[in-house]
Amino acid sequence: MTKHEPLIHIVKRDGMAWWRAWAIRLISAVMALLVCALFIYGLTKLNPIKVYGAMWEGAFGSPRRAWITARDTAILLCIGVGLAPAFMMRFWNVGAEGQVLMGGCATAAVLIYGGAALPTWALLCAGALASLAAGALWGLIPALFKARWNTNETLFTLMMNYIAIQITCFLVATWENPKGSNSVGIINQKTQAGWFPALFGQQYMMNVILVLALTVGVFLYLRYTKQGYEISVVGESENTARYAGINVRRVLVRTMAISGAICGLSGFVAVAGSSHTISTSTAGGRGFTAIIVAWMAKFNTFVMVLIALLLVFLEKGAVQIASQFHLNDYASDVVTGIILFFLLGSEFFIQYSLRFRSHTHAKEAEA
């Protein structure tokens, strides 16, 4: 009987030197730009170099645009940093969108009800604590069910997003201003009570400093603390963790509370430091985009800075080329999709190698 050996074997690599991994990523980026150039010229007859220049112009073309890019990068990075502990533990928290909304709602409540009575520094402290508590609660609920009844965390956290959206809708209707507008409007627009103050003459400097400090803190927590070690062990094997005397349930609940709290804090940054309002679009899909940030960075929060910046750059660039060259949103989204496809694909070749069936082995298999 003839045995047919597969033509291609996918084999997981034991490891790869950092320079080779980054070389693969660089090659993938170059290939993505070449394919995008072919797509752009083939469909629109536009000069690809001018299109890439327009993308840069959209993200960094002026000081204001550069700071808006930094502001949006900070929010996306904050969510990615929040997902890192949960993902490192192999708890698939896809509920960041809801955790951001709950943190934003808590912040908005503090600003609305305390805006006339408290100074800005007190509002900011109270808003930050409220957002941390709201996000932690939204992370704790699925964690408790997972620890007690082993529920599916992916479905649970996903459903929590929809509950958060409905709560946000209810609060928007409650805080509607002006009546009939179906929106909260700009909170404390006249007094700017509870808004992030400008630092060094820059409106969004505090956003960047706060999130970068959080990025460093979470990196140190995951790499150099006992709790960070417990998270990594539980992520590798729960049985090994139990054998080592680690209380898996406690680690699970504690880590999800931290993950949810940080995601909730990003809602605080979005409301108090960016939009100064609350709506169902406050998260803006960034809770899902941050999954790409965390995964591509291998949960290294420093690498997340680069990934988050790249994704925001692509977003701003896509908007710019759509308006400047009169392209529809689908064409610009295709460019973004091609680049992400190649970058995500590069991670496959970093983790796995392809081995083709040799001629000798083929003969042996047929014998």
Segment 295-306, tens digit of pLDDT: 989 899 999 999
> Which pLDDT band holds residue 286 (cuts at 50, 70, 90)?
very high
pLDDT at 1: 46
Mean of all residue pLDDT scores within the chain: 92
Question: What are the two backbone dihedrals, phi and then psi, of residue 29, each rounded to the nearest 5 degrees?
Answer: -65, -40
Place 109 in a pLDDT band, splitting at 50, 70 and 90.
Answer: very high
Contact 148, 134 (CB under 8 A): no
Structure tokens at 352: 């796995």
Q: What is the mean pLDDT of residues 352-359?
A: 76
The token duo for 345 is: 């694909």
pLDDT of residue 9: 79
Tell me what the mean pLDDT of segment 328-337 comes to. Answer: 80
Q: What average pLDDT score do residues 88-108 get?
A: 97
Rounded alpha-carbon distances, angstroms, from residue 55 to 177, 260, 332: 36, 33, 10
Separation CA 203–CA 181 (nearest Å): 28
The mean-pLDDT minimum among 72-86, 172-186, 203-217 falls in 172-186
Of 3 and 230, more confident: 230
- What is the pLDDT, as a whole number, of residue 15? 78
Q: What is the pLDDT of residues 119-149, one digit of tens each?
A: 999 999 999 999 999 999 999 999 999 999 9
- Return the minimum-mean-pLDDT range out of 106-120, 144-158, 280-294, 338-352: 338-352
* pLDDT for the residue numbered 7: 77
Decide if pLDDT at 31 tops 80.
Answer: yes
Residues 284-313 have a mean pLDDT of 94
DSSP states of 215-266: HHHHHHHHHHSHHHHHHHHHHH-HHHHHHTT--HHHHHHHHHHHHHHHHHHH
Q: What percent of the chain has pLDDT over 70?
A: 96
**C-alpha span between 314 and 310 (Å, rounded):** 6
Burial code (b: 16+ CB inside 10 Å, e: under 16) for 40-58 equals beeeeebebeebbbbbebb
pLDDT at residue 2 in the model:
52
Tell me phi and psi for residue 94, to 5 degrees: -105, 20
- Mean of the pLDDT values across residues 43-52? 87
**81 pLDDT higher than 80:** yes
Q: Is the pLDDT of residue 358 over 70?
A: no
Helix (H, G, I), strand (E, B) or coil at 353: strand
**Which H helix or E strand runs over 39?**
helix 18-44
